[in-house]
A and B are shown apart, each in its own frame.
Chain A
Amino acid sequence: MLIADRVIAIAIMALSAYFMWHAIALPIGWNGMTGGPGGGAFPFWLSLIMLLSAGGVLIRSLMQAPSSQHFFDSQMLRSVILVVVALFVTIALIPVLGAYIAIPLFIFWYIKIYGRHGWVLTAALTIGTPVFLFFFFEVTLKILLPKGVTEPLFFPLYAMFF
């Protein structure tokens, strides 16, 4: 628990420093002539407060006695990582294969392989979700989802519904 706390505090400190480095591209000082703080002032000084507070969290955790509580439940961590990886793969596939291939693949994986549900439920959701997405987002709301290489397959559908 303490180790994770420290790692997160250090990560926040690094992130703050990174923000500060970007913020100094614009003036960070107070300029009375142009009326107050420059464009970089807010992000810079707030990041500094963040850096110092995260430092405080780090020091505090260093002074605490080690606890036996674990940050991650090692067994459950595996499922979390699996889901995160599946999510990232799905997002990466969307611009390439299109939302109408990537999302059903994700649903299929999640329901059938990860969730170990039956075929009927899996099939219903894998087919039902994209149909719903198409009619709700594209036909009703006129919001087009990315299609990637599957784009030409949709031309007849557009002709039919628009």
Chain B
Amino acid sequence: MIYRITRRAALAGVASIAMIAAGATSALAEGWKPQKPIEMVIMAGQGGGADRLARLFQSIIQKEGLASMPVLPVNKGGGSGAEALRYLKDNEGDAHKIMATLNSYYTTPLRTDIGVDIEEFQPIARMALDTFVLWVNADSDVQTLDDFVAAVKASGGEWKMGGTGTGQEDSLVTAMLEKEFDIKVTYVPFGGGGDVAKNVVGGHIDSSVNNPSEALGFYQAGKMRPIMAMTPNRLDVFPDTPTATELGHDIVYWMQRSFVAPKGMPAEAVAYYTEMFKNLSQTEEWQTYTREKALMADFLSGDELQAYFLEEREKHAAILADMEGDGAS
């Protein structure tokens, strides 16, 4: 039925396009609206932390009716997000594509030459900063940071630190720890944060730098022990865990959860999405979630966000240079 309308009455179709186009222009005056479903590209595979968060956003948007068209998540996690970055680059000017980012937004273009300059992308909104905590198994003798450093040194390099893939956030945090405390660990890469936490609890690795949300369940069951939070202030969910800053070490590392758009997205569309995420950040669901999962809900948009991205890229370039300088693989 519908098919016949579009196909047979081609002329009528063309006429209707003209009308829609006219309608769209008049709509512009009142503010831009998406004309088709919005594609939310996720820089990670299905089921990981980034994916879950992106789908949470999708659900809240849908539940609260924050967008006039559905938001459809698409995973393009290949090559640590290289696939997603290239895809965004190839869709210049598209007003119906946004991308959920994590720190591989900086590290992937820095580590491999994929012909993408993130400066060209259009920043939309930073929703949150995720935190990192140093964890050990609850049965371990390690109670404090000093115990940890001593235990790693005593192991002669055989201390097993688990984390996500080499070159991703966990390995950077590990490199920062190694440098700060002059220690050497064996870094074991796993597919995802949940997998890492499970291996800590199962005793297959000695420690991890999981995000709180990944290890919270085990922590509440008394199976994992937080040693140190890599944040400036103590986290509400772990009030007794000291921060690195408190202990006199300058280790602060965040995982940013932001949205960006392709280069050349019309300004009205950028405004629309920024507004959408601003409304999202004020919803009850989001605020509860960030509180429970120890996320810092720190909304940022526009030029400030771009400045933040570029500053972070510099920082990551320095950390990566350090890592490679050490000959760590």
Taking beta carbons and an 8 Å cutoff, which residues of A are in contact with B?
34-35, 100, 127, 130-131, 134, 142-144, 150-159, 162
Tell me whether B6 and A144 are in contact (CB under 8 A). no
Which B residues touch A155, using CB under 8 A? 17, 20, 35-36
Tell me whether B36 and A127 are in contact (CB under 8 A). no
Which B residues touch A152, using CB under 8 A? 17, 20-21
Which B residues touch A127, using CB under 8 A? 3-4
CB distance from B300 to the nearest CB of A (A): 30
Complex: A134 Cα to B20 Cα, angstroms: 21
Tell me whether B37 and A131 are in contact (CB under 8 A). no
Tell me whether A153 and B1 are in contact (CB under 8 A). no
Tell me whether A134 and B72 are in contact (CB under 8 A). no
Complex: A162 Cα to B72 Cα, angstroms: 12
Q: Can you name 12 extra interface pairs (CB under 8 A) apart from A100-B3, A155-B36, A162-B70?
A: A127-B4, A131-B1, A134-B3, A142-B70, A142-B72, A144-B36, A144-B72, A153-B6, A153-B13, A156-B20, A157-B2, A159-B35
CB distance from B82 to the nearest CB of A (A): 15
Taking beta carbons and an 8 Å cutoff, which residues of B are in contact with A?
1-4, 6, 13, 16-17, 20-21, 35-37, 39, 69-70, 72, 186, 329
Interface secondary structure of A, over-half rule? helix
Closest to B18 in A: A152
* Closest 4 pairs between A and B when the two form their complex, measured CB to CB: A155-B35, A152-B17, A158-B36, A153-B6
Q: List 17 A-B contacts (CB under 8 A).
A: A34-B329, A100-B6, A131-B1, A131-B2, A142-B37, A144-B37, A150-B6, A153-B13, A153-B16, A153-B17, A154-B36, A155-B20, A155-B35, A156-B16, A157-B2, A158-B35, A159-B35
Closest to B23 in A: A155
Which B residues touch A156, using CB under 8 A? 16, 20
Which B residues touch A150, using CB under 8 A? 6
Which A residues touch B35, using CB under 8 A? 155, 158-159
Tell me whether A162 and B17 are in contact (CB under 8 A). no
- Point out the residue from A130, A134, A153, A162 that lies within 8 Å of B37, measured CB to CB: A162
Closest to A153 in B: B6
CB distance from B50 to the nearest CB of A (A): 20
Tell me whether B3 and A131 are in contact (CB under 8 A). yes
CB distance from B153 to the nearest CB of A (A): 19
Which A residues touch B21, using CB under 8 A? 152
Complex: A158 Cα to B24 Cα, angstroms: 14
Q: Give the most central of B3, B37, B186: most A CB within 10 Å.
A: B3
- Point out the residue from B3, B13, B36, B329 that lies within 8 Å of A130, measured CB to CB: B3
Closest to B16 in A: A156
Which A residues touch B17, using CB under 8 A? 152-153, 155
Tell me whether B69 and A162 are in contact (CB under 8 A). yes
Tell me whether B4 and A144 are in contact (CB under 8 A). no
Complex: A159 Cα to B69 Cα, angstroms: 8
Closest to A126 in B: B3
Q: Give the most central of A34, A150, A156, A159: most B CB within 10 Å.
A: A156
Complex: A143 Cα to B74 Cα, angstroms: 9
Complex: A153 Cα to B17 Cα, angstroms: 7
Complex: A136 Cα to B69 Cα, angstroms: 18
Which B residues touch A143, using CB under 8 A? 72
CB distance from A26 to the nearest CB of B (A): 11
Which B residues touch A162, using CB under 8 A? 37, 69-70
CB distance from B168 to the nearest CB of A (A): 15
CB distance from A161 to the nearest CB of B (A): 9
Q: Give the most central of A35, A131, A162: most B CB within 10 Å.
A: A162
CB distance from B80 to the nearest CB of A (A): 14
Which A residues touch B69, using CB under 8 A? 158, 162
CB distance from B240 to the nearest CB of A (A): 36
Tell me whether A158 and B13 are in contact (CB under 8 A). no
Complex: A152 Cα to B4 Cα, angstroms: 16
Which A residues touch B2, using CB under 8 A? 131, 134, 157
CB distance from B323 to the nearest CB of A (A): 14
Q: Give the most central of A130, A144, A152, A162: most B CB within 10 Å.
A: A152
Closest to B24 in A: A155
Closest to A142 in B: B72
Which B residues touch A154, using CB under 8 A? 6, 36
CB distance from B325 to the nearest CB of A (A): 16
Complex: A156 Cα to B72 Cα, angstroms: 18
Which A residues touch B16, using CB under 8 A? 153, 156
CB distance from A107 to the nearest CB of B (A): 12
